[in-house]
Amino acid sequence: MKPFNIAIDGPAGAGKSTVARRVAEALGFVYVDTGAMYRAVTWNCLERGCDPDEDENVAKLARQCDIRLRPGENGQEVWVNGRNVTEEIRSAEVTSNVSRIAQNREVRELLADMQRRMAAEGGVVMDGRDIGTTVLPDAPVKVFLTASPRARAERRFLELKDKRPSLTVEELEKEIAERDRMDSEREVSPLVQAPDAVRIDSTNLKLEEVIGKILELCRTKVAGEA
């Protein structure tokens, strides 16, 4: 299949990363997790004791941040300035600060430029919040993946219950709702469905069904070009 780009956006816990990784594997494309890049900038900022609300300092630190996404033994690894931070960027502290950092205009411009360079040759499946609207507006396949807030919280709960044993589904649903609110209401490239994106509600779908639907969209695209 001639390489083209696929944009997958949607709210937290909708299944974007899992689905994007599997679609990339099926097509022999490269998976790019843009959320991991915002998390990496957030981790670096907290590590350096920078207040996430100090926009200029956050942007300055982000400019000095060398972020690498590398294939590792257990999936994609995230490195910041030569340090492997794959585990650290998933911490509760990073999660609760990332949407604040993601409102920073300069940080967004910096990361969007990097993301466009990563996709310049095509053959990339990129997931995030603004891929179909801002980063790759010309991507031939765009998906807006969503699910009910409860379903998303339950999925996240299953992933986190061993790491954060005191957490309840209700608390997680609140945490996710707050992050979705900040992501949707921010001024710069908010989380919104691109007009030409195909909406998939995965509340009652199995992973395999979601992946099947996206691969079908890709086949339709290729058939349309033939």
Residue 21, C-beta contacts closer than 8 angstroms, at least 6 positions apart: 31, 75, 76, 125
The verdict on 98 binding ligand CDP (CB under 6 A) reads yes
Among 95, 126, 179, 124, CA closest to 16:
126
Please identify, using beta-carbon distances, which residue of 5 and 99 lies nearer to ligand CDP.
99
Q: How far is the CB of 159 from ligand CDP (least distance, A)?
A: 5
The verdict on 149 binding ligand CDP (CB under 6 A) reads no
Q: Does 166 count as an annotated binding residue?
A: no
Please identify, using beta-carbon distances, which residue of 4 and 38 lies nearer to ligand CDP.
38
Six-digit token pair at 117? 């360079």
Among 224, 147, 214, 119, CA closest to 156:
147
Please identify, using beta-carbon distances, which residue of 4 and 15 lies nearer to ligand CDP.
15
**According to CB under 6 A, which one of 144, 155, 197, 217 is a site residue for ligand CDP?**
155
Q: What is the helix (H) or strand (E) element at residue 128, kind and residue range?
A: strand 124-128
Strand ranges (DSSP E) for 36-123? 67-72, 75-80, 83-84
**According to CB under 6 A, which one of 78, 107, 130, 197 is a site residue for ligand CDP?**
130
**According to CB under 6 A, which one of 22, 144, 202, 218 is a site residue for ligand CDP?**
202
SS3 content of the chain, % helix, strand, coil (to 5): 50, 15, 35
CB atoms within 10 A of CB 94: 22
CA–CA dist 24, 125 (Å, integer) = 6
Q: Does 12 count as an annotated binding residue?
A: yes
Q: Does 11 count as an annotated binding residue?
A: yes
Please identify, using beta-carbon distances, which residue of 129 and 218 lies nearer to ligand CDP.
129
The verdict on 117 binding ligand CDP (CB under 6 A) reads no
Q: Do residues 66 and 80 make contact, with C-beta atoms less than 8 angstroms apart?
A: yes
Q: How far is the CB of 12 from ligand CDP (least distance, A)?
A: 3
Please identify, using beta-carbon distances, which residue of 1 and 171 lies nearer to ligand CDP.
171
The verdict on 179 binding ligand CDP (CB under 6 A) reads yes
Among 131, 134, 165, 172, CA closest to 151:
172
Q: What does the binding site for ligand CDP look like in residue numbers (CB under 6 A)?
A: 10, 12-18, 34-35, 38-39, 98-99, 102, 128-131, 155, 159, 179, 183, 202, 205-207, 210
Residues annotated within the binding site for ATP are 10-18
